[in-house]
Amino acid sequence: MLRSTGIWPTWTLRQSRIGSVLCLVAALLAQKTLDGKSPRAWPLTVLAFAGLSFALLASAVNLESDRTAGRANPSPLSLRFLLALLALSLAGVLDMGGNLFRPRGVVLWVGGLALALGYLWLVSPPAAPVSPAEKRARGAIAVPWHWWALGGILLLGLWFRLRLYGEIPADMGFDLASKFHDALSILRGNYNIFFPARLGREGLFFYATALAGKLTGLSRSTLHLTSGLIGVVTIVAVYQLARELFGVGTGLVAAYLLAVNRWHIVLSRSGFRACTMPLFTAWSLYAFLRALRTRRPLDWGLAGVAIGAGAYSYRSFLFVPVALAAGLVLYLLWHWSERRGLAPGLLIAVLVAAAIVAPLVRYVAENPDKYMARQKYQTDAQVKQQDKAESWLTYLGRCLLVFNDQGDGDSRFNYPFARQAGLASAALLVLGAACLLVRPRSRAAAFMLPAVLILSLPAALSMLPGEMPSSLRLSGLIVPAVILAALPLEVLVRLWRPTPHEQSAGPAENRLGLSLTLQAGASARTLGLSADGAALLRAALALAAALLLGYEAVEAYGYYFRDYPTKLPDQANYSVTGDMARVLRAFPDQEQAYVVGFPNWFDGSVLAMHVGVAPNQVAVLPALRPDQPPVTTLGGAGLFLLCPRDEASRLTLQAAFPAGILVEHHYPDGQVSFLAFYAER
């Protein structure tokens, strides 16, 4: 008998096992129906009912993590000494005026932080020490099985994020070009703290791209490579967070679901700085929860590092500290005794985070208008449509349903309006959320449920009437979503795990039998087959779970490599500027290659990115005149790229260079994308 606590009913083990499987099947069928064109109300109702039923049937299952290490008493901590080291770090910020990281300031800033973390390490007790006997028993190079499993998941995630990364996507519009030119400016010695162009952007991703460009050469593909590798690292962070909350099994499933999550695959391959949002969300949550469990000064310091560094990742990250604060308040409401000894650790985290974010704070203090330009732009757009505005609860509801119903409509970052999760994880997510709702006292519920709501706010608060949530602003929601989706499988594992009674029962009690009697005349023969029934059921469920997870990967492959490219700009993953850049690079004499301007034809910054140079290094002619250079001065061969609608320039070139060759380039649907005129005297 499974006995639950609180107000929830008591179920027999058999009822819980069979009922939970039926709830999962019902959730999958409801999610599949929701994908069709039928009314959404009843599939959503079935999903919610299946989730609540699953949670109640499994309410007696213990979901706490196996990480229950005791809290060792740290060595005495001198707060004054720590403050002195952090003051040294802050002294470096005094040399960071004018929005620039300068060598002397960076040395002091980073050096002070390193000394502070070193001091916290010295006063922290060892984390989970391993005895010599245990080391000998494990062997010198023994690797736990779950690290092998995680390694396989990382290889899968790497494959999804780097396969054809230079070809898909072929283009992401002007926004990607601005990222390229910011990384290029870093390589040229402009070490900005904040990048104010195009409404302002945090710079951590640009520095990572510049580092990759330093090692491999900067190109458009470098942006996609950098974001792809960040996506792979995020898988490790999600594994650690899920393991911290629920144990190794949930950690591995969550890592797998992230590795094949369609939304995260698109985000990781985009080359956009929003790819850092899930990484720092997972890292901050994990570091904070670990510090809350161990209370080690070093762990509190590392939590401060994660939170402080996250401020340089993506603007939506500013909601993560709010989610942590809300989770801590809820946790302490249920576990008031945990407050003892908490204040010093929180102070350490706050001080370290403040020291890390200090250069950005200085920039904001000196340039508040530039830092808030993006928020002002969004607010102005909302004010203009105020008469059509919907309630913020409507916007929040759309954010919470992106995994099950409709996602972002921007074709650069999604197959327009498709759900942001696979079939299996979309259904499992509802069951996992319900499991925490019926366990409000748990640490996971206190932190994960507020995180879901608060991480939805960056998108919900910036939405316009009739708009779907931005997949970039909402990207932090991926982290709690995949963990919640992994949770029901852990519940099923623990429900179907053999009980002590089943393990001690005799073979006859657990066997299923099948007999068949064959009779011919006076003689008869009986054929029999028997097996361990419980073991067969567990094997069948394990196979079904493996097939379900496998289908998630197959579905993600079709989504990204088959469906998504058909919607990519400029058309079916064909890039006009990318093709123009290929033609320019192939021409032998770059000094004699020109692009003729025409209204609303191409973006010069995007073309420069594809060529791999700064925008001012691409020769763009505002107009082409027969009596002016380069028409009158061209010697030898020359190349002119033209808009198909620019009849005047085409006629001018054909008249000036009768021997020239005009080559048409086409979109996938056959329309002319641009003209290449090869001039010859």
Residue 112 has pLDDT above 50, yes or no: yes
Q: Give the residue with greater pLDDT, 74 vs 580.
A: 580
What pLDDT does residue 6 have?
A: 44
Tokens of 623: 């107009």
pLDDT value, residue 8: 47
Nearest Cα neighbor of 487 from 65, 74, 115 is 65
Q: Mean of the pLDDT values across residues 119-143?
A: 68
Three-state secondary structure call for residue 638: strand
Percentage with pLDDT > 70 across the chain: 90
Please tell me the predicted confidence (pLDDT) of residue 386: 84
- Pairwise CA distance, residues 666 & 670, whole Å: 6
Question: How confident is the model at residue 2, as a pLDDT?
Answer: 47
pLDDT tens digits, one per residue of 271-302: 999 999 999 999 999 999 999 999 999 999 99
Could you tell me the pLDDT band of residue 573, with boundaries at 50, 70 and 90?
A: very high
DSSP classification of residue 644: T
Q: Which residue has the higher pLDDT, 9 or 410?
A: 410
Helix (H, G, I), strand (E, B) or coil at 531: strand
* The predicted structure's pLDDT at residue 72: 61
pLDDT beyond 70 at 531: no
Find the length of the chain.
Answer: 681
627-651: pLDDT as tens digits: 999 999 998 899 999 999 999 999 9
pLDDT band at 174 (very low <50, low <70, confident <90, very high): confident
Split at pLDDT 50, 70, 90, the class of 68 is: low
The pTM score is 0.92
> Using alpha carbons only, how large is the chain's radius of gyration in Å?
30
Across all residues in the chain, what is the average pLDDT? 90
681: confidence class by pLDDT, cuts 50, 70, 90: confident
Those residues with Cβ within 8 angstroms of residue 552's Cβ, 6 or more apart along the chain or in another chain: 257, 260, 422, 423, 424, 425
Q: Which of 662, 665, 666 has its CA nearest to residue 679?
A: 662
How does pLDDT run across 305-356, given as a tens digit for each residue? 999 999 999 999 999 999 999 999 999 999 999 999 899 999 999 999 999 9
- Which pLDDT band holds residue 519 (cuts at 50, 70, 90)? low
DSSP for 143-203 reads --HHHHHHHHHHHHHHHHHHTTTTTSSS---HHHHHHHHHHHHHHTT--BSEE-STT-EE-
**What was the pLDDT predicted at 522?**
57
Integer Cα distance of 190 and 203 in angstroms? 12
Contact yes or no for 492/544 (Cβ under 8 A): no
Does residue 20 surpass a pLDDT of 70? Answer: yes
Q: Given a cut of 60, is residue 207 above it in pLDDT?
A: yes
Would the pLDDT of 621 be above 60?
Answer: yes
> Which pLDDT score is estimated for 412?
86
Least confident of 154-158, 404-408, 497-501: 497-501
Res. 485: pLDDT tops 60: yes
- Has residue 5 got a pLDDT over 50? no
Position 3 pLDDT exceeds 50: no
